[in-house]
């Protein structure tokens, strides 16, 4: 059996999803910090660690430029846990698998669906901007945006590649898939989106992450394509990086509206983007709802019946 197919046997419920999140934060956090300090030792940076006793900036100096390394090791731990659970369940003939990726695109093809999802993701990010403007951007994100020009590879790999791949596999490909295999579609989408928002640990990201997660979750349910939601996540994250990269004069401490006024002299274009984004999202949801399968059955595990009570062999229908 292909080792990459093991996760399809693990279908966590609400309790299992909380365990995954705890593993991500606690065990993943510890491993990622150890990896960062090992990298610092290899690079001859550990002399900075002496400052951490009296000056926390020592830790900041050691972690600087290692965002992708830290993120990879934090996220790979829950991924390994999911694989191990799936591998364990794969030996149980009574555990029916549900694939992580089983695309059914209705009347779309990958190109037309991709274009529509790209426009919807960008549109929704602008719709959410007036909400996020009420919350301050975390300092670590200000530092990240300010360092885009000096450490572009580290930023792009962590934010635009690792984040979509790991987070969508965990949130949609594992947690939502597990709940969808057990019943309620609404619960599966809302719960996975709630955890998706909570894992960001700040309101500036959590609220848009929850709303975006609901859209990602609905698209995943209707298409059963993990690559579709990975693409949407990539578009959302990369567009933020690209905007600051293309317009280095933007002030991270200012809201998007304030930056728009600074660049154009008016906030009219800001509200045009917000309103246009809303229209795109509404139109996109209408088209997806019309042309994607209404009630996909691929999340329902095939029933496994005992062929005979006195026989160990089982048959999967």
**pLDDT tens for residues 238-273?**
998 888 777 766 766 677 777 777 777 778 888 999
Rounded alpha-carbon distances, angstroms, from residue 217 to 45, 83, 220, 228, 254: 42, 21, 5, 10, 31
CA proximity to 210, closest of 131, 122, 295: 131
pLDDT, tens digit, 9 for 90 and up, residues 29-82: 999 888 887 877 776 655 555 455 445 444 555 556 678 888 999 999 999 999
Is the pLDDT confidence value at 310 over 80?
no
Residue 147's pLDDT band, with cuts at 50, 70 and 90, is: low
Our CA angle for 200, 203, 204, nearest 5°, is 90
Torsion over CA of 54, 60, 62 and 65, rounded to 10 degrees?
A: -170
Q: Per the structure block, which two tokens stand in for 192?
A: 């996975």
- CA proximity to 70, closest of 118, 30, 16, 105: 30
Question: Rounded to whole angstroms, how far apart are CA atoms 122 and 101?
Answer: 24
Q: Is the pLDDT of residue 114 over 90?
A: yes
Burial status of residue 238 (CB atoms within 10 A of its CB: 0-12, 13-18, 19 or more): middle
In this prediction, residue 78 carries a pLDDT of 97
Position 145 pLDDT exceeds 60: yes
Question: Taking phi first (over 0 means left), then psi (-120 to 50 degrees means alpha), and beta for anything else, what does residue 30 get?
Answer: alpha
Residue 232 confidence (pLDDT): 97
Question: Does this model's pTM top 0.85?
Answer: yes
Domains of the chain, by residue range, sit at 1-97, 101-300
H/E stretch holding 305 reads strand 304-306
CA 150 → CA 27, 145, 251, distances in Å?
A: 30, 10, 17
Structural contact between residues 97 and 8, judged by C-beta atoms closer than 8 angstroms: yes
Q: Which of the four pLDDT bands, split at 50, 70 and 90, describes residue 309?
A: very low
32 class by beta-carbon count within 10 Å (0-12 exposed, 13-18 middle, 19+ buried): buried
């Amino acid at each position: 059996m292909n080792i990459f197919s093991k996760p399809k046997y693990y279908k966590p419920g609400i309790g299992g999803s909380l365990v995954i999140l705890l593993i991500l934060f606690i065990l993943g956090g510890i491993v990622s910090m150890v990896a960062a300090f090992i990298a610092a030792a290899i690079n001859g940076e550990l002399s900075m660690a002496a400052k951490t006793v009296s000056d926390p900036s020592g830790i900041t100096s050691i972690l600087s430029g290692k965002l992708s390394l830290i993120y990879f090791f934090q996220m790979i731990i829950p991924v390994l846990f999911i694989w191990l659970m799936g591998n364990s369940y794969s030996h149980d003939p009574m555990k029916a698998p549900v694939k992580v990726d089983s695309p059914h695109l209705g009347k779309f093809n990958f190109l037309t669906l991709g274009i529509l999802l790209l426009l919807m993701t960008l549109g929704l990010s602008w719709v959410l901007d007036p909400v996020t403007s009420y919350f301050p951007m975390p300092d670590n994100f200000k530092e990240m945006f300010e360092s885009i020009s000096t450490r572009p590879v580290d930023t792009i790999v962590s934010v635009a590649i690792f984040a979509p791949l790991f987070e969508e596999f965990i949130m949609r490909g594992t947690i939502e898939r597990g709940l969808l295999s057990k019943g309620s579609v609404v619960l599966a989408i809302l719960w996975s989106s709630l955890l998706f928002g909570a894992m960001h640990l700040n309101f500036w990201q959590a609220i848009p992450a929850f709303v975006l997660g609901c859209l990602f979750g609905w698209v995943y349910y209707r298409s059963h394509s993990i690559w579709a939601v990975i693409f949407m996540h990539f578009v959302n994250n990369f567009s933020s990086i690209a905007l600051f990269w293309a317009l280095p004069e933007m002030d991270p401490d200012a809201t998007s509206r304030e930056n728009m006024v600074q660049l154009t002299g008016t906030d009219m274009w800001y509200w045009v983007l917000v309103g246009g984004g809303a229209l795109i999202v509404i139109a996109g949801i209408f088209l997806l709802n019309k042309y994607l399968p209404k009630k996909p059955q691929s999340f329902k595990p095939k029933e496994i019946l005992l062929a005979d009570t006195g026989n160990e062999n089982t048959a999967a229908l």
